[in-house]
Amino acid sequence: MAFHTETTAPNDTANIADTVAAVRAGFDSGLTRPVSWRLDQLRGLSAMLRTESDRFEAALASDLGKPSIEGYAADIATVASEIDDIAKHLPKWMKPRRVKVPLTVQPGRAYVLPQPLGVTLIIAPWNYPVQLLLLPAAVSIAAGNACVLKPSEVAPATSALLAELLPRFTDSKAIATVEGGVDTSTELLEQRFDYIFYTGSTAVGRIVHQAASRHLTPCTLELGGKSPVLVDDSANLEVAARRIAWGKWLNAGQTCVAPDYVLISATHRDRFVELLERSFAEFADGTDTRTNPDFTSIVNERHTERLRGLLANHNGTVAFGGDSDVADRWVEPTIIIDPDPDSPVMQEEIFGPILPIITVDSLADAISFVTDRPHPLALYVFAEHDDTIEHVIDHTSAGGTCINHVIQHLLPSDLPFGGVGESGFGRYHGRAGFDTFSNLRAVLKKPTRIDPKLVYPPYTEKKSKLIRRFL
């Protein structure tokens, strides 16, 4: 299988200010405001994904060694159908939203009017390089904004394809794609935008937030971190093991909401590990995952080395897997029982097919383990008892939660997606995304036919008494 090496894509920083200025001129001309323009762009994005899906699958395979069906499902089909859904609901979302007017302000009419923010910058990572660029772009366009899109240089074939196709399917007067690496992102962040939407690591999220603060630009940070899984004693262990193993297998664990580690009691741990091993073995179907076309590669040698480092230094017991090869960008699905909580595998986001299993004494213990650490992007609970599920949700914080499965809470477009605390802030998907990229302008309209003198100075004793009684 051919892989691109990690490169810095074309990086013409001199043109960045011009590109942003051109897109701003497009926005200022009023081009992006009519619903017809917005719908045309959304239809263009959807058509691009559908008609060029073979080329997108090939680019994803080249960048990540993604199985074609995983690339198609996560980066093409679900993205196109969410874009279609946005287009379907857009006319309703754009309407003014009436709100109640209190007696003291009547007569009058009040409403929230969603208006575009202006020029938005969207910076995407490499792990789902189409989805994580185009879904925020779609809601930004739906909200009537102009966009500058910056795909990840770590997925160079996909970045180049997006840069080639976007101008053919969308209006380049208000939608520009800028390819490049850190220098390009840094230069982009020097410009003034009206909104910045960043997806990627927490470390870079801090840099983006600082840069945004220079122009007081609002932003969304879609970050990562360690997403824990609590497997309660009441859980259906067989289903839990299969679903958690799938969450680690998918994209070789390189998913922001991949299950990072599992907390389980000693009573069920060994049986659960056995079931996990069986699930991984079933997925591999008797083949070596190094060459299995259904198993994604690690994105590059640097990340493979990083994962080898996690495997080398944890003081736990490897129950399954443990092998890796830097040249092949391969790390075997691996289960580690009770690694040292201070070791890198329990301190850093794993972002690879390694699954630590932590033995806990009780549900309370599991909850403390989670709450002693930064708020995760996702928290998973496997349990059959509703009171246990509610107890976990009530006593923890997380960007999102999926009960008795992993990752799938991203799919319903009406569930706002985002982090909390160190896993980020801001929400998108569906209408939450439209609202994120809108200025929800507050408007109160008063008629002039009635204008009682009561509320104006001079505040006589009689008027004051009446006002006090009224309020």
Applying CB under 6 A, the residues found at the interface with ligand NAD are 123-127, 132, 150, 152-154, 181-182, 185-186, 199-201, 204, 207, 222-224, 256, 349, 351, 377, 419, 424
- As to burial, measured by CB atoms within 10 angstroms (0-12 exposed, 13-18 middle, 19+ buried), residue 324 is buried
Provide the minimum distance between the beta carbon of 186 and ligand NAD in the complex, in angstroms, as a whole number.
5
55 vs 38: CA distance, rounded Å: 25
Q: Which two tokens stand for residue 456?
A: 């104006």
| 57 labelled catalytic | no
Provide the minimum distance between the beta carbon of 408 and ligand NAD in the complex, in angstroms, as a whole number.
15
Based on CB atoms, which residue is closest to ligand NAD, 25 or 204?
Answer: 204
Based on CB atoms, which residue is closest to ligand NAD, 148 or 273?
Answer: 148
Based on CB atoms, which residue is closest to ligand NAD, 214 or 445?
Answer: 214
Based on CB atoms, which residue is closest to ligand NAD, 311 or 378?
Answer: 378
Provide the minimum distance between the beta carbon of 446 and ligand NAD in the complex, in angstroms, as a whole number.
43
Give me the count of residues in the chain.
Answer: 471
Segments of 130-288 assigned E as strands: 146-150, 175-177, 195-199, 219-222, 228-231, 261-265
| Cβ atoms within 10 Å of 80's Cβ, excluding its own | 20
Catalytic one of 57, 70, 82, 222: 222
Residue in the structure block whose two tokens are 């299993």: 357
| 256 labelled catalytic | yes
Q: Which two tokens stand for residue 161?
A: 């394809």
Query: Within 29-155, where are the H helices?
Result: 35-51, 53-64, 68-71, 78-94, 131-142
Contact, 110 vs 101, CB < 8 A?
yes
- Which candidate, 76, 55, 74, 254, places its Cα nearest to that of 163? 55
Segments of 266-403 assigned E as strands: 317-320, 324-325, 330-331, 334-337, 354-360, 378-382, 400-403
Based on CB atoms, which residue is closest to ligand NAD, 229 or 264?
Answer: 229
Provide the minimum distance between the beta carbon of 299 and ligand NAD in the complex, in angstroms, as a whole number.
8
Provide the minimum distance between the beta carbon of 155 and ligand NAD in the complex, in angstroms, as a whole number.
7
Q: Which two tokens stand for residue 5?
A: 């090496």
Taking CB atoms, the residue at the shortest distance from ligand NAD is 224
Catalytic one of 256, 332, 349, 402: 256
Residues annotated as catalytic are: 222, 256
